[in-house]
Amino acid sequence: MDLKRRKIDTPSGVKMQDVRGAHKTRSPKGIKPMLATLAGSPPEGDDWLHEIKYDGYRIISHIKNGKTALFTRHGKDWTVKFPLIASELTKLPVSEAWVDGEVVYMGKDGRTSFGDLQKALSEGRDGGLKYIMFDIVFMDGFSLAKTPLIERKKVIKGLFAGKKAGRPVLVYGDYIIGNGSVFFGRACGLSLEGMVSKQTSSLYTQRRSRSWIKVKCRKRQEFVIGGYTPAKGSRNGVGALLVGVYERGRLIYAGRVGTGFTEKTMAGLYPKLRKLEKKAPPFRDMALSEQRGVRWVRPVLVAEAEFSEWTGKGVLRQASFEGLRRDKPAHEVFRETAEEVKEKKHSPIHKKAAPPEVKLTNPDRLFYPEEGITKKELADYYGTVSRFMLPHLSGRLLTLLRCPESFRDCFFQKHATGRPAEKIKRVAATEDGKRVYYMTVDSVEGLLSLVQLGALEIHTWGSRSDDLERPDRGAFDIDPGSGVEWVRLVEAANLVRELLKELGIKSFVKTTGGKGLHVVFPLDSTNTWKEVEAFTRAFAEYVSRRLPERFTHIMSLKRRKGRIFLDYMRNLRGSTIVEVFSTRARENASISFPVGWNDLARVRSGFFTVRNFKKYLKKGPWKGYFGIRQRITKEMMNRIGL
């Protein structure tokens, strides 16, 4: 086959010269990758497509006449490091192309791992590596830089349509359009690094752009190594790395990275540090107390680290070493800060997204007669909160309180019966040894379908359908007995928060829409149901034993009089809590609403309703929830007597 003369068709049969924006030109001498801007939250709307944020090395590939060269984002030739990938790229049905992608190590579960990628490189093997092809800039005499991204995607997919394409080593960088918050919630729920959102109409500009944004599930970035402390009791080990970032040409101290080292990473890292040792610290304005026992090094090595947060003084907390970055020079490392990226209202490709198409029968039916709230108004409410609610709700098994006529005439529905509405999905689960089906939703249309069913309360499992046996959420129901005032309820919730914090668990609080509060803590789906149940039960017993006049962990109404029932049983497999933003079947149309800890004393039970919620959405009290990676450890269990 003469590759030089072969014309490539997109899947739709369009010739290259017919691709929108493509123009004939000479092949560029090189390509600088288009970079994404860090943002705090994903964009919404059908003007954006969303991809997984791959945990690897950005690589530009140049295929020409049966040969391939691979370059880092700074133009270094890394072809020799990935010979298998280069070999597979030459087999694509193209005479010349510049492709943008990422080299990753992908495990059997489909997740990428930077640590395993580092290990593969240090051992000189590329058998387990894959090349994710997510963009193309030039092909067979045509520049695609001014072609809208959504069209460039079609061209890449066309390369995988031939008989010799689609090798396991090469992977098409797929995407979804719209539902950014849902995509982000699922990505974080699967412990991925994050997501990259790109405007479907974006052209390829060889610089950082706000048309591409990245949102991380957890805080992670590169740092310059400026020193280290020796490991205690070891001649050849590292206790911690002292790292920094550049600011206006000066290397500013950013703290210590003290965990994440393995024997193999230590074996490769320690000799490099020894060769770079120097007498004076490279950091500017560093406190003397931080300099004791430190061995300084020339600031040329770049490490990637994951951390919990920046302190007010600009120092890292709980930083963990992920690996060395060989593709980025030290002088380009700076502190990453998220920008607000406003959504584009109009797109040359997609029209404004149409409202969800869910037919409401009897839209004027009064679900809350005293308040005059109709089915239509309830649907409008869920349409408004959907982008905040769906990341928490998506994929969870549902138990519904259905009230077809009004909130006074209701029944619970646990299992899916018959054929549910199109946007309500069925999920199989095992219950008492039998196979049963639950309902789940992952779209605004699904939410509105629940409204059509007359669901006034949405209760959910603590795990998701893709991993039912491992919860990604724990919760305590702070349930006041008769005679307990709100101020005592607030004190109780804050006590639970502080005790969890001492154990190393960050938590959030929400109203239940009833008389109590829920203290919720995200988990990374490592623990089993039994472990979460055992921990929360022991925690509740621990608190009630020490403050028996204020708390009880026993459900008995007699024991609860004048006390607060610390209900841990929401963490049993199959148990549920009312989902955040769910309405309640109560007279004032109250809702379960997320609250900032500092605002808790200023609200009351049933404070948030379908009518007043909008002015409280702006605060974002649960900001950062999906970026938290935490689990229940044996040490935590030991500390509370397990």
Task: Say if residue 66 is in the same domain as residue 172.
Answer: yes
**Residues 246, 251: Cα–Cα separation, whole Å:** 4
Q: Is residue 489 part of a domain?
A: yes
As to burial, measured by CB atoms within 10 angstroms (0-12 exposed, 13-18 middle, 19+ buried), residue 369 is middle
Other C-beta atoms lying within 10 Å of the C-beta of residue 631: 16
Task: Say if residue 539 is in the same domain as residue 630.
Answer: yes
Q: Is residue 156 part of a domain?
A: yes
**Residues 590, 605: Cα–Cα separation, whole Å:** 9
Instruction: Please report which helix (H) or strand (E) contains residue 165, including its range.
Output: none
Q: Where are the extended beta strands (E) located within 140-237?
A: 142-143, 170-172, 176-177, 194-199, 208-216, 219-230
Say which CATH number the domain at 293 has: 2.40.50.140
Say which CATH number the domain at 559 has: 3.90.920.10
CB 263 within 8 A of CB 198: no
- Ramachandran class of 421: left when φ > 0, alpha when ψ lies in -120 to 50, beta otherwise: beta
DSSP 370: T
Catalytic residue numbers? 53
Q: Is a pLDDT exceeding 80 seen at residue 236? A: no
Q: Is a pLDDT exceeding 70 seen at residue 354? A: no
Task: Say if residue 175 is in the same domain as residue 204.
Answer: yes
Task: Say if residue 26 is in the same domain as residue 76.
Answer: yes
Q: Is a pLDDT exceeding 70 seen at residue 279? A: yes
What token pair was written down for 583?
């309405």
Residue that terminates a domain, selected from 216, 235, 251? 216
Mean pLDDT of all residues belonging to the chain: 87
Q: Is residue 348 part of a domain?
A: no
Q: Quick one: which of 177, 175, 151, 134 has its CA closest to 48?
A: 177
CB 460 within 8 A of CB 577: yes
Q: Is residue 295 part of a domain?
A: yes
Q: What's the confidence (pLDDT) of residue 353?
A: 39
Say which CATH number the domain at 185 has: 3.30.470.30
Task: Say if residue 123 is in the same domain as residue 203.
Answer: yes
Q: What's the confidence (pLDDT) of residue 8?
A: 41
Task: Say if residue 530 is in the same domain as residue 633.
Answer: yes
**Above pLDDT 70, what percent of the chain?**
93
Q: What's the confidence (pLDDT) of residue 234?
A: 63
Q: Is residue 164 part of a domain?
A: yes
pLDDT in tens, 468-500: 999 999 999 999 998 899 999 999 999 999 999
Q: Which position has the higher pLDDT, 619 or 279? A: 279
Other C-beta atoms lying within 10 Å of the C-beta of residue 345: 8
Q: Is residue 339 part of a domain?
A: no
pLDDT in tens, 301-346: 999 998 877 887 888 888 889 889 888 888 888 888 776 555 444 3
Q: Domain range for residue 104?
A: 16-216
**Residues 298, 295: Cα–Cα separation, whole Å:** 10
pLDDT in tens, 591-640: 999 999 999 988 988 899 999 998 888 766 788 788 787 899 999 999 99
Q: Is a pLDDT exceeding 60 seen at residue 56? A: yes
**Residues 179, 46: Cα–Cα separation, whole Å:** 8
Residue that terminates a domain, selected from 420, 438, 464? 464
Task: Say if residue 33 is in the same domain as residue 75.
Answer: yes
Q: Is residue 323 part of a domain?
A: yes
pLDDT in tens, 136-155: 999 999 999 999 999 999 99
Q: Is residue 599 part of a domain?
A: yes
Residue that terminates a domain, selected from 216, 233, 263? 216
* The dihedral formed by the CA atoms of 47, 186, 73 and 207, expressed in degrees to the nearest 10: 30
Average pLDDT over residues 280-296: 87
Task: Say if residue 225 is in the same domain as residue 277.
Answer: yes
| 60, β-bridge pairs | 71, 100
Other C-beta atoms lying within 10 Å of the C-beta of residue 320: 17
In the chain, the N- to C-terminal Cα span, in Å, equals 69
Task: Say if residue 417 is in the same domain as residue 562.
Answer: no
pLDDT in tens, 110-136: 778 887 887 788 777 777 799 999 999
| Strand, coil or helix: 171 | strand
Task: Say if residue 231 is in the same domain as residue 164.
Answer: no
Q: Quick one: which of 299, 41, 277 has its CA closest to 180?
A: 41
- Domain count across the chain: 4
Average pLDDT over residues 544-566: 88
Task: Say if residue 425 is in the same domain as residue 495.
Answer: no
Task: Say if residue 157 is in the same domain as residue 275.
Answer: no
Q: Is a pLDDT exceeding 60 seen at residue 362? A: yes
**Residues 475, 226: Cα–Cα separation, whole Å:** 42
